[in-house]
Each structure stands twice: as C-alpha cells, then as structure tokens.
Amino acid sequence: MKKTRFVLTCLLLAVSSVLFAQNIQVRGTVTDASTGEPVPFAAVQIQGTTTGTATDANGVYTITAPSKATLVFSSMGYQTQSVAIEGRAVVNCILAVDSEFLDDVIVVGYGTTRREAKTGAVATVSSEEIAQVPATSVDKMLAGKMAGVTISSEYGQPGSNSQIRIRGTSSINAGNEPLWVVDGIPVMSGDQGYFTNSTNAIGAINPNDIESLTVLKDAAAASIYGSRAANGVILVTTKSGKAGKASFSARAKYGVTTIANDNNFSVMNAQELYDFYSAAATNAGKTIGDYYSPSVLDGPMTDWFHDLFRVGKMQEYEINAQAGTDKSKFYSSLSYSDTEGVAYATHYKRLTGRINSDYKLTSNLEIGTRVNLAYTENRDTEMQSLYYSNPFFAGLSIRPWTPMKDENGEWNVNIPENSNTNPMFVALAHGEDQWEKQFRTQAAMFLQWEPVKNLVIKTNNMFETTFGQGVRYWGPDPGDTEGVLQGSRSQYLQLTTSNTVTYTMDFDDHNIRLLAGQEAMRRTYEGMYGYAPTVDAKIPYFSTSIASESQIEDWFNARTMLSFFGNVDYNYANKYFVSASIREDGSSLFGAKNKWGTFWSAAASWNISNEEFLSDSKWLSLLKLRASYGVNGNNNISAYQSYAVYSSAAYNGANGMMPTRPSNETLSWEKNKTWNIGLDFAFLNNRISGQVDVYDRLTTDMLLDKQVPATSGFTSNFMNIGSMRNRGVEFQLEGDVIRTRDFNWTLGFNMAINRSKVLDLGDDEWMASSYDSRLRHVVGREFYSFYLRDYYGVDPTNGEALWRATDPEHPDDDSYYLLTNDFSKSRYIYAGSPEAKLTGGFNTSISYKGLSLSAFFEFKTGNYVYVGEMRYLNADGNQMTMNQVSSAANYWKEPGDTGVNPKPIAGNATNSYNISSTRWMQKGDYLRIKDVTISYNLPEKLLKSINMKGIRLYVSALNPYTFHDVYWWDPERGEEGMGFGIYPQTKSYAGGIEISF
Amino acid sequence: MKKYFVIALLAVVALTTSCKGWLTEEPVMSQSTELTLSDYDGLNKAVGGAYTPLCDGTWYGAFYVLDAEMRAGNARIPANTEFTSGRMMVPYYMTYEPSATSGLWTYAYYLISCTNNVLDVIDNRINDLLTGSVTQQDIDNLKAEALALRALAHFDLLRLYGRTDGSNGEFGVCLITTPQLPTDMPARATVAQTFESIINDLTTAESLMAPGYVRGGVADTKATITPNVIKALLARVYLYNKNWQKAADYATAIINSNEYTLWTADEYTSVWGKEVAGKGGEVIFEVYGKQANAYDEYWEGPSHMTNPVGYADCAASSALTSLFDAGDVRGTTGVRGKDDGNVMFATDAAQASNTLWTMKYMGKGEGNATTTPDVNNVIVLRLSEMYLIRAEAILNGASVAGATALSDINAIRANRNAAALTSASKQDVAKERILELNFEGHLWFDLDRTGSTLSYADGTVTRELDANSKFWALPIPKSQIDLNENLKQNPGYGV
C-alpha cells in the first residue's frame, strides 16, 4: 500500500519539478528485466527530493537533475531501483519484477486487499488457470480448483447450469447457490430458461474476459454482502486495459465432444438379450417362444447405444484489444462460440461483446464503464428423466433388433418398447423444436472521486437484463398435419446502485481503512406463456393457431433490497490485523415486522513471520494465523411469501377464491453463523505456500413449513425454525518445485472435508427432500440421506432377491436383521448420503522455454449415487420388452451363486428391481483428469522479425479420463446424486491458436 | 473532512426515511387476501370458494358419510371380493386412535376460516363494501351463506368428535368465529355452547338471507345455501339438540314450502347420480361432485369406493339389506351394469360374489372404473329426512297441527311400495331412518344422539358398543393435540 501511494504521489508531483544548480538534462528508457519491454508510466524521482517525472508510453523519460544525484525508479509490480546519474546524459534502468507483488493484491468485498492482509478465508483463481479449458462457462472451469468449492451438474449438456456449493449445502427451502458479484455489483445467476433442460446466466460472461476470480468462503470475507452471503460469494473481475502499448489478439479454438465411458458401461447385444429373455422365460415356466421368435436374431442389428450419439463439434473465435495511457484505458472483446452436444438435438451458441473503459477526468476523478452484451441459444429436446425422446434412456432400452430406419429409409417409429418414439426422429426429422434464446445485458458505470487525499468516494451503478424467448414444439404424429406449439417470453430487469466511501490512514505503524456504503436493488421478473394445441405443421407459429383452443398466461413479480454497510480494517506494523464489518439489509421478501436484518463479522490475524524473532528466518517466508466469526444470511426464496394470498377455487361450475397461504409478518432470513480458523504459510522464499482452514457453519432460523393448529385455517406456515451445521477442514498447497529462467515445474494440491448435520427440523424428526422423497433430511444425520429398502443380495439357495427385515428383538439396531425373500417385509434404512466426504484437486504444470504442459485432476470420495434407471435396465425379467445393461447377464444360475443379480423371471413381480432399494446405490467416488493442456509460445525473436507480439498454439482436453466404479457413462449425478436418464458429463478435445500484436 | 461526513450522514438519513415504500412489493398476480376481501365481488368469490372443503374426502367427498356407515354396520368391507383397497379398515375394525382417525378437523376448520375471513370484513368494514350497485341485502345474503356454512362445519365437527346424547358435555368443539393467528391455541367449548353457537349462526343467517336467494352462476342450485337449506339444517340441529318443537316447526316449514316433493316409488331408483338436482324432488342441499372442482377425490370418491370394480371397499352389509320388506323399492336388488337405475342394491356385474353394493353413488356417468373415476353429488339434506325429523319430534312431545308421526312415516312408505304402518313408535322412526337414509351418513350419528347401543356382527367383525363407548366421539388427530396445548383429547384415547 505504501508503495502504491508513493507512486501516486510521484505522478501528482511530476509536473512541479524544481530546478537545482548544476542541473543537467537526463533521459533514458525503463525496461522490464524479464521481457525487455519498456515500462510505461514508471515513476522517476530524484532521491531525497519530491521532484520527479514519469516515463511515457514507450518507457522513455526526461528529467532535469543535479549531475551527482541518484534517480529512484519505481512502478507498480516492480522492485524499486536506484541508479546514480554520475554525470551521464542517458540513464537507462532495468526493473525487476516484484514476484511478491504480482499476486499481492486480491479482490475482496468492496475493494482489494493485499494477500498478506486478509483476515478471512478466500480462494482465488487467475485468468491463466481458467482460460484454456475447453468449457464454455467460467463455473465449469472452477471444478476442483479451490478447496471447499465443489461444482457439479446434473446435465453434461452444453450451456447448462452448474450446482456450486461452497462449504457444503446449508439450506432446505432457501437456495444453496453462491452470490455472484461482477465488477463490484451482485448479478443474476442460475437457470433463467423456460422450456430447455437448463440454462446458465453466468455463461453469458466470456471466460476469457475474466481477469481474476475470488471466492469468499467464511463470514469474515462474505458478511459484507449480508443477507445474500450465506452460501459464499464469487467475485469476478473482468479485464481492464493496461497502461502501455496497445495490443490486439485473436483466438480460434476448434474441438470435439464425445460421450464419456471410462467404466465399460454397455448394453446387451442381440444374442445376449435373447439368451437373457430365454432364461427369464424358462424361470417363469414358459419358453422364449412365448415372447420372441428366434428370427429376431436374423435381421440387421442396430447399435442404439452408440448410434443415438454423435461426436459434437465445438468452435470458438474471439478478438480482443486493449490499450491504455496514464489517463485512459480500455479493453474490448468480441467472441463467438458454438458447441454441439453429444445428443443430436443439443446445441449451444453464444455471442458476447464487452467494452471496459476507464478514464481519469481529472487527477482525482475517474470514471469507468463495464458493458457486456451476450446472446445465447440453448437447444435440446425433452430429454430429462424418462421422456421417450431422451437418448440417454432410449439408447439403453431399445432392443438391438429394432431398426433405426424402416424399409423406406425413413426413421423407424414402430418402437413399442419406447412408446413408438425414435429419439433420432424427434431430434432430426419430426420438426420438434425446443430452445431458449436469451439476450443478456450487463451495463455498469462507476465514478470515483478522491476529494482529499486517501478519501475515495465511489458510486457504481448497473442495469442488468435478460430477455428470454423460448419455444417447445411437438410436430404432428405421422399422418397428422397439426403440431402443438408452446412459447415463452420472459424478462428480468435488475437495477443496482452501490455507493461507498473509503478512507485510508497510515501513521507510524498503524494502517487503517474505513469503508461505509449503501446499496439498493430492484429486480422484476415478468413473462408470458402461450399454448396452441393445433398449429399448422408447415407454419408452426402462433399465427396459424385456432384462437378458441389457445391459452395464454402471464406473470410478474418484483423484489427490492436496501442496504447500509461498513467495514473497518486495521493493522499494526503488518503484524496484527483486525477487521470488522456490519451490514443492514432491508428486503421486500420478508414480513413487515422483519424487513431489516443485521449481519456482521469480526476477524483478526497475526502475521507471525513478521515478528522480530522470526524475521531473520531464511526458510520461513510467511506464517500467519487467522480467526473470524460472523453472521450472514440467506434470502434466496421466492417473492411474496410473507403475504397472505387467495387463489382461485372452482366449485359447482363457478369460480371462487380460497385462501392458500397465511400472512407471515415475522418471516425472515435464514442465518448462517460461521467461525473460521486458518493458517497461511510459505517457505523457502515462497516456493512452497499453502493454507489450512477449519470452519463451523451453523444455519439457524431455517425456513421450513411449521405445523400449526388447524383451527387457524392452515395446517402449516412457512417459518424460520430449523437448524443445521456444516463443519470442515480445507487444505491448499502450492509449490514451485523447479524455478529457473527456462524451466519451471509447479505442483498444487487442494482438498476439503465437509460434514453436514441436520440439527432441528421444528416439529419433525425428518422431512422428505423436495427433490425426491427417497432422499430425506433427518435430524442427527447428514443433510441428505437415502431412505431405501434394505437389499441384501441374491439368495444363494433359490436365486430370488434377499431383503433385510427388522429384527423384532432389536427393532432399533440396524446391525440386527432377519433375511426374507418377501419384499413387503423388507425394512427401510438410511443407506448413505450423496454428499462427498472428501473433495479436492491437484495440478501440475511444467514449462520449458515456450513449451508448457499443465494437467489438472479432480477427485471426490465418500459419496453414493443412486442409479435408479436400473429398475428398468436390470429388471430381472420384469421388463420383457426393453434391452438390458450388460451386467444384467450376470445372474443367479445355480444354488450357491452369490454376488450376482437375482434370477430373471419373465413378468417378474417380486419387486427385486424395486425403484426404492439399496440395490441401485453405488459408490460415487471418482478421480477425474479434468483438463490437460499442452501449449507452445513461439520464440519472441522469431516473432519480432514478423512484427508480432505472440503466437501461442495449444491443444487441450477436458475430462479425458475418469477413474470410477459407477455403472453408467459418468459418475456425476449432481448434488443430489440421483437424476434419472441424466445427460452425463462428456469429454472434449480442442486445439487453438492465439495470436497477438 | 467533517463536512463530507455530514453530507454522507444526511444522505443516509434521506435514504432511510424514504425506504419504507421501496421495500414494499406486494403480489400483483395472485390475489392478496387484503385485495380479495376488499370488495363485494371478492367477498362473493371468497364465499363461493368456502364451499370447496365440503368436497374433501374427509367430508362429503366420501368418508364422512361412508365411514359413518361402516362404523354403524350399514356397510362392510366385502369378504369374498378379489380386491379392496384397504382404505376403510379403521372404521370397519373400529381401530380408531389419535394417530388413525378422521381428518375432518383440518378441512372443517379450513372452511370455517374461509367464512370467518369474510364475516370479519362484513362486520368491520361494511361501509367499504356498499359501493356502486351493491346493496345491504347483497351483503346480508353473503353473510347468511357464510354463517350457515360455518354452522354446518361446526355441527359436523361436533357430531364426529363430540357426543350429542348429552354425555361428555364438556367436550364440544373449538368454536372459531373470528380469524385466527397460527399462534392462537383455542380450547374446546362445551357441547351446549357449541349447539348455541351453531343455532345462533343459523338463526342469524335465516333472518338475513333474502327469500328465494340462490348464489349466482352455479351449475347446481341445490348445492348452495338457500333459505330452505338454512331451515332444513335448523330442523336437524334442533332435533340433535332435542328442541323437539323447533325441530318439528322447521321441518314443517320445509314440508309445507311446496318446493319439494317426495320421490315416488317409480322415481326412487333413478334419482341418484344426477348431474344437478332439478326442481321439485327431494334434494334440499347436496355437495356437488365434479372433477373440475378445486377439491375432487378422484379415485377416492364415493362412486369408486362403492363400486365393486373400483376400490371396492364399501359394500352393503346383510344386516342392512335384510331389513327391507318384500316390495319395498328401497331394498330392491339386482346386478350392476344390468339393473342400473332400477334397483337400490346390486352385486358386481359378474355376480362373482353375493355381496351387494349401494347404488346411491353409481355416479353421473362421467367416467369408468378403470380409466377415469366417476363423480357423484352427495346429498346432505332431503325432504324424507324432514318428515322423519317431524315424526320423531312429535313422538317426543312436539305438536304440529294436522301432522302425526304415523302419517309422516306412512307418507314416505306410500312412496316406497312399503306397506303402511298402523302405529308409529320411536323405534319405528329409527328403523324407517335406516331404511330411507342408509348410506347417507345418518345411522351412526342417530345412535349417538339417542344414546343407543350398537350390536353388530357380520362374520368378520363383531361389534358391541354400549352407550358409553369412547368410539361415539372419534379421537381428535394427535398432531392437533400436540400443536395446541389447550386442546383436550376425548376421554379414553390417552393424553
């Protein structure tokens, strides 16, 4: 901080140089030690005076100075250097990069701080770490990069949303996603689509536009965001122009996406299936002839498992330019990306354009704009769950002897086992259409004024919109001429003003920073939905619909917030740091009596390595202890929950109204109380660095439906009653194994352990999850517990399924049980959780001159997934019309067989395949090679001769291989570990070129 | 420096004072309670919506009626049918306990809260409502409708969860006559207070409602509260309260209103399952069944429960079907599918069992047993009951010029192809009520209000209930006892 101010002072005083006796004119060039490039706007000061100047855009300066004086050269990010003039007229200076300084500043809530001064738990990712991965949105690139930040997704479909959990899941009815803050303003995130499986608002930001990303994990870091901070905060800072030479670069990337299958997942071929059905028929006392003729094996076979998927192409093009002087800077970019999914109907396109500009109006007044425009287009079909058009289920269940095309070469739609639905017909021929086109705008402008030294007043204002347009069209069935059209139009508008005053004060060894601020936000969501059951298939638009059959609906809701906040940071001699923050949030979402809430945090840290007794230590670079406690909130609920509402109630042929929700004037935030203790360390001149954090995150006042006396007219009321806890440890380690001029090797590792526990659910001991009733929230257990029938295995004596039943002598002890073949007697147990016990990642990067290789691994362990699709695909003969997975062929054949599937029985009604049994639970552990990139920067000498700044070539792979044991394409099934017919994660390979001038 | 802080402070003060409006966002698409109840049109719709809980399965949507028949022995779970859904085990085997009891409590109080919301506005903000062409009479009609519905809800709660024979007088029901907060913990009123409140609501309603008032826009005018419904309900309430003269007087008012006629023997078997009750006929008040209703029991409606190829849980007991004299149209038997509309009891179409099923809920023909269940109107009040009320009242000392108990019973019997009685005792009235009103939810409550015993055996269950059995008052749901510290459970069911 001192250094920065010093530079500023120099700049301010540069114009007022004072003449000395025996002065001479000195000029020279300041260059960067590592690149040889000129350093623009470096301060040049005559030692011991306040006289100075600055270099121009080409690093050249001129100064009049005493011939015996010494010049002090300094610039942000470089080590300060002194050079004696010794009577010379030309004094050049080479500035060495200040390696500590490079990553010294991190973005935190409403400002920046030096990494050294942070008191809370934060994690950062730089643009280099995210830019190369062949994923289309920044959230996808973060997986495994930071301890305690897990990214998962139920949909591997391009353009889909992610589930981001920072330090576990903390809420049942309010949201669990973090708050995204882009360039200082909280923005909208999540799925804003209407018909498509998933859309991702954050995907509208071009990842290459991101300069840095900070995740605020604990209350000390996040509480300044008050009622929206409970799930953590992700701060995104986009690129600004840099002072110095203008540059222009262009990137192109081309790649392919394929379905992943690293665990030999497969379905039966025709012969295997025929044999399986035969055995099933025999076991049912029938013969295969009762079901199939052997002639099914004669014809040509179709490999539905492969033929429903393709190699998707992806391409991405971008140009960007940036330039800057001491007064103005700009960065702008334009990008286009186009990604085909592995399923034929899936497609994602994105166009983005950004302009970031900064301008110094006067020496103490600065303005800046951040404008991002995006167009996104998501396409898919109805392929969630068990829709027959879902290739991820149809590809498994359609029998091999069912042809893809009929004798006329048309798509075959005579597929009784799949309700006569051919996913290829739906995707390519039926004219079915399902898409969401979104137009996104984020436009912000800030004004920053420093009326007196060290006092900065800033106002930052943004308007953000999403205009979405969606269509779902079902083409006519063969022979029919009319289709069904549904359409949507939706608009989000969010207005935010954020105003802060910051004052910094340094005297002796005391450093104080005071921040006070105010923020206001209003968000509206409105839209319209149209339905026309009969439109002309040749002109599938609403204009050909029959008015009397069509329907229209619309909606509107609004929410507002008003906030006041303040923050104090104090440190003494860079050894003792204290910070505290407080925020008052008022929200329209909550009851009249609880509109306002107070959120706060207090934190301290002690930089032990700066104590005198350690300052001489050669091996210790940093040792810092941090502790924090704070309270923040979760207001992520739908609007108007505090209002009593009537809804329409038809009776006796007339429309009446009846009350559907009581008013709740005390409805309030969920509160998150977090303490965090952390240790930052670095050894051997920062070559090894890392941090350890321990936290306890208590959610109280959870929003739950509380049972109330029915005499009130309602049986439950949405109230703040429950509580739960997340506890964990996070560990992050980075090391420069080899650090030389030409050869570098770095290693990084992070891991996190999180344990959730439900403490109180009001009157209830458990609640079924709103996601799926097979998942429960149970007091005393993890946030999610699978609640399932207790499957034991195959009965070696008769080949039937064996179930555990409650032992009446020990009804409360799960370790005692009776075995039964009777499904109806089987007991329910809490069978495990989809939450991972340990998550993390590690990375390594090796570079030699211009060539570099980096690899990134992600892992998760201790979680269970529920592969419920097996109820149909491994159905022990219950399904005699569907194809079965290959593993189903491993069934009981003779007494004594164990560890296999129960014997198949045609028309099986024993419930051995029941949809709610532990039989379909699998361990979800995996180790994923998340991304691998090899890149080559052409040598500068070569480039100089052709007048270019850089050419970079790279090839990169996303998810090239995953080690796992889940019998499915991919082990991931979202936070809930369930899903049904889910779009698995896919593999992508891309190559690209990046040229800059 | 100071002046900036002053400016900042002023700015903060200015923002804070203007923020009240900023932080208020009211729902504009769904209708806030405040808005709904702000004018006559909204109140009118709120009263229309207040009928919907009557269609719930715990009430006239099925089980308030069918469970009562099952408990009283008119109905049974068939023994020799392939399938029953198991939905009526509790009333059949009389295994009521606080965690397995009727859920009427919830829905009746929901209806009561619907009416109280309306009554609260009418009583306190009448001047806001009298705008435009809205008259005091319009408001009075709504108020009367709401009061009558509230009375019906309290009365049905009392019959189910309380005793009407005069015993256990302290265990009435919670009388809810004002809008409640979730934190309110009302205690039970006495039985006498409950009757007083019900009668008060009904007599007030009677005095307020304009003669000939019928709710506008409805499909079935017999499925709404009219002046005659109020009178007929008063007749029944006074009968239960043993105010014999008033019971007889109100029954007489209906009988003499000339708006209803007794179904003839020819009509009797074909009047059930009509989409709407037409003019004339016996129906005074019925609950309208339709899938488009906000509440519809679908598979669990009475049509499906009493259908041998439906859920098939609720058959007629032989104790009931053997009561009828030969020739009595009310006891005619046949085969389902073949004799529909001609008999009152039928076996299944395949005649696979000898079990007979009531045909009072054969449905409107808007569905079938396998794809879409049928719907039914459930009759609550009809003319025959008025004759029987008057007969019983007269036998207990009431006097009505020109009417005798015998003539009233015989008026019914004459229209049922049943031989006229020569004398009428209280037992004759009780038996005639079973013959006439079986499967309409009366017998169980009649036995209770008259302090009778129940002795019943059908081969599967044997039931002996003396007049003091705890089961005459069903347990209040345990969750409600747990949630309301002032709510006492009925005697005999534990705490």
Supply the pLDDT for residue A131: 61
The average confidence (pLDDT) of chain A is 86
Nearest-CB residue to A652 (from B31, B182, B218): B218
Q: B43 pLDDT band (50/70/90 cuts)? A: very high
CATH of A2-99, one of 2.40.30.10, 2.30.38.10, 3.20.80.10, 2.60.40.1120: 2.60.40.1120
In this predicted model, what pLDDT tens digit does every residue of A473-489 receive, in sequence order? 988 876 778 888 999 99
Contact A656 B1 (CB under 8 A): no
- Which residues of B fall within a CB distance of 8 Å from A588? 22-25
Q: What are the residues whose beta carbons fall under 8 Å from the beta carbon of A214, sequence distance 6 or more? A: A106, A107, A108, A122, A123, A124, A234, A235, A237
From the number of C-beta atoms within 10 Å of its C-beta (0-12, 13-18, 19+), residue A102 rates as: exposed
Supply the pLDDT for residue A565: 93
- Which residues of A fall within a CB distance of 8 Å from B33? 643-646, 659, 663
C-beta neighbour count of B75 within 10 angstroms: 31
The DSSP secondary-structure symbol of B74 reads S
Question: Is the confidence at residue B397, as pLDDT, over 70?
Answer: yes
Supply the pLDDT for residue B223: 96
Q: What are the residues whose beta carbons fall under 8 Å from the beta carbon of B278, sequence distance 6 or more? A: none
CA distance A812 to chain B (A): 21
Question: Is the confidence at residue B159, as pLDDT, over 90?
Answer: yes
Hey, is the C-beta of B25 within 8 angstroms of any chain A C-beta? yes
Q: Are strands A817-820 and A688-707 parallel, antiparallel or unpaired?
A: unpaired
Is-contact A728 A168, C-beta < 8 A? yes
In this predicted model, what pLDDT tens digit does every residue of A151-180 receive, in sequence order? 877 677 888 888 888 888 888 877 888 899
Torsion of CA A731, A736, A737, A740, to 10 degrees: 180
Question: Is the confidence at residue A114, as pLDDT, over 80?
Answer: no
Supply the pLDDT for residue A467: 96
d(CA A514, CA A455): 9
In this predicted model, what pLDDT tens digit does every residue of A64-74 receive, in sequence order? 888 888 888 88
Question: Is the confidence at residue A10, as pLDDT, over 60?
Answer: no
Supply the pLDDT for residue A937: 86
Question: Is the confidence at residue A17, as pLDDT, over 70?
Answer: no
The CA-atom distances, in angstroms, between B235 and each of A605, A866, B242, B386, B393 are 81, 61, 10, 7, 10
Crossing angle of helices B191-208 and B227-240, rounded to 10°: 160
- Which residues of A fall within a CB distance of 8 Å from B174? 711
The DSSP secondary-structure symbol of B290 reads -
> Taking the model in full, what pTM does it have?
0.78
Mean pLDDT along residues A49-65: 83
Question: Cα Rg for chain A, rounded, in angstroms?
Answer: 32
Q: A13 pLDDT band (50/70/90 cuts)? A: very low
d(CA B57, CA B77): 18
Is-contact B494 B482, C-beta < 8 A? no
Highest mean pLDDT (candidates A153-167, A567-581, B129-143):
B129-143
Interface of B with A in 289-328 (CB under 8 A): 290, 292-295
Question: Is the confidence at residue A16, as pLDDT, over 80?
Answer: no
d(CA A67, CA A498): 51
Best residue in B51, B111, B483 for a mutation probing chain A (most A CBs within 10 Å)? B483
Reading the block at residue A874, the tokens are 């491994």
Reading the block at residue A192, the tokens are 């804003």
In this predicted model, what pLDDT tens digit does every residue of A615-633 receive, in sequence order? 777 788 888 899 999 998 8
The DSSP secondary-structure symbol of B474 reads P
Interface of B with A in 249-288 (CB under 8 A): 288
Supply the pLDDT for residue A230: 83
Hey, is the C-beta of B229 within 8 angstroms of any chain A C-beta? no
Is-contact A600 A630, C-beta < 8 A? yes
Q: A825 pLDDT band (50/70/90 cuts)? A: confident
Distance of CA B53 to the CA centre of its chain: 10
Question: Is the confidence at residue B94, as pLDDT, over 70?
Answer: yes
Mean pLDDT along residues A488-506: 93
Question: Is the confidence at residue A429, as pLDDT, over 80?
Answer: no
Question: Is the confidence at residue A11, as pLDDT, over 50?
Answer: no
Q: A98 pLDDT band (50/70/90 cuts)? A: low
From the number of C-beta atoms within 10 Å of its C-beta (0-12, 13-18, 19+), residue B127 rates as: exposed
Q: A134 pLDDT band (50/70/90 cuts)? A: low
Supply the pLDDT for residue A463: 92
Three-class secondary structure assignment of A826-873: CCEEECCCCCCCEEEEEEEEEEECCEEEEEEEEEEECCEEECCCHHHH
In this predicted model, what pLDDT tens digit does every residue of A253-269 receive, in sequence order? 899 999 999 999 999 99
Mean pLDDT along residues A927-936: 90
In this predicted model, what pLDDT tens digit does every residue of A352-384 receive, in sequence order? 999 999 998 888 899 999 999 999 999 988 776
Q: In this complex, how many residue pairs, one in chain A and one in chain B, have their CB atoms less than 8 Å apart?
A: 195
The DSSP secondary-structure symbol of A376 reads E
Supply the pLDDT for residue B19: 54
Contact B1 A455 (CB under 8 A): yes
**End-to-end Cα spacing for chain A:** 33
How large a percentage of chain B has pLDDT more than 70?
A: 94
Supply the pLDDT for residue A195: 87
Question: Is the confidence at residue B424, as pLDDT, over 60?
Answer: yes
Contact B219 A652 (CB under 8 A): yes
B152-176: buried (b, 16+ CB within 10 Å) or exposed (e) per residue? bbbbbbbbbbbbbbebbeebbbbbb
Q: B10 pLDDT band (50/70/90 cuts)? A: low
Supply the pLDDT for residue B182: 83
Reading the block at residue A34, the tokens are 């590592």
Nearest-CB residue to A645 (from B30, B42, B179): B30
Q: Are strands A551-572 and A233-238 parallel, antiparallel or unpaired?
A: unpaired
Domain with CATH 2.170.130.10 in chain A: 105-243
Reading the block at residue A446, the tokens are 């800030």
Is-contact A989 A134, C-beta < 8 A? yes
In this predicted model, what pLDDT tens digit does every residue of A710-748 receive, in sequence order? 999 988 888 888 899 999 999 999 888 888 888 889 899
Tell the residue number behind the tokens 């570099």, with chain if given: A852
Domain with CATH 2.60.40.1120 in chain A: 2-99
Q: A552 pLDDT band (50/70/90 cuts)? A: confident
Please tell me which residue, A189 or B412, carries the higher pLDDT value. B412
Please tell me which residue, A8 or A812, carries the higher pLDDT value. A812
Please choose, from the candidates B432, B434, B431, B426, the residue with its C-alpha nearest in 3D space to the C-alpha of residue B413: B432
d(CA B182, CA B108): 16
CA distance B307 to chain A (A): 24
Supply the pLDDT for residue B8: 52
Mean pLDDT along residues A430-454: 89
- A225-234, B17-26, B392-401, range with the lowest pLDDT: B17-26
Contact A653 B218 (CB under 8 A): yes
In this predicted model, what pLDDT tens digit does every residue of B334-379 receive, in sequence order? 999 899 999 999 998 887 777 999 999 999 988 776 667 899 999 9
Question: Is the confidence at residue A765, as pLDDT, over 70?
Answer: yes
Please choose, from the candidates B201, B238, B283, the residue with its C-alpha nearest in 3D space to the C-alpha of residue B389: B238
Supply the pLDDT for residue A3: 39
**Length of chain B in residues, anyone?**
495
Please choose, from the candidates A302, A311, A309, A305, the residue with its C-alpha nearest in 3D space to the C-alpha of residue A412: A302
Supply the pLDDT for residue A470: 94
Question: Is the confidence at residue A560, as pLDDT, over 80?
Answer: yes
Q: Is the dihedral of CA B247, B252, B255, B257 positive or negative?
A: negative
Contact B483 A717 (CB under 8 A): no
Reading the block at residue A628, the tokens are 């924090």
Question: Is the confidence at residue B18, as pLDDT, over 50?
Answer: yes
Please tell me which residue, A980 or B227, carries the higher pLDDT value. B227
Three-class secondary structure of residue B94 per DSSP: coil
Bridge partners (DSSP) of residue A775 are A786
Hey, is the C-beta of A707 within 8 angstroms of any chain B C-beta? yes
Q: Which CATH class is domain B33-72+82-483?
A: mainly alpha
Nearest-CB residue to A711 (from B1, B12, B174): B174
Supply the pLDDT for residue A8: 36
Tell the residue number behind the tokens 């347990």, with chain if given: B475
Hey, is the C-beta of A559 within 8 angstroms of any chain B C-beta? yes
In this predicted model, what pLDDT tens digit does every residue of A630-662 receive, in sequence order? 998 888 888 888 888 888 888 998 988 888 888
d(CA B227, CA B233): 10
Question: Is the confidence at residue A104, as pLDDT, over 70?
Answer: no
Hey, is the C-beta of B215 within 8 angstroms of any chain A C-beta? yes
Q: Which CATH architecture has domain A105-243?
A: Beta Complex (2.170)
In this predicted model, what pLDDT tens digit does every residue of A934-978 receive, in sequence order? 989 888 778 878 878 888 898 988 889 999 999 999 999 888 898
Reading the block at residue A585, the tokens are 């949030």
Is-contact B172 B188, C-beta < 8 A? yes
Bridge partners (DSSP) of residue A443 are A371, A463
Q: A1 pLDDT band (50/70/90 cuts)? A: very low
Strands (E) across A573-687 are located at 576-587, 596-607, 620-634, 645-651, 654-661, 670-683
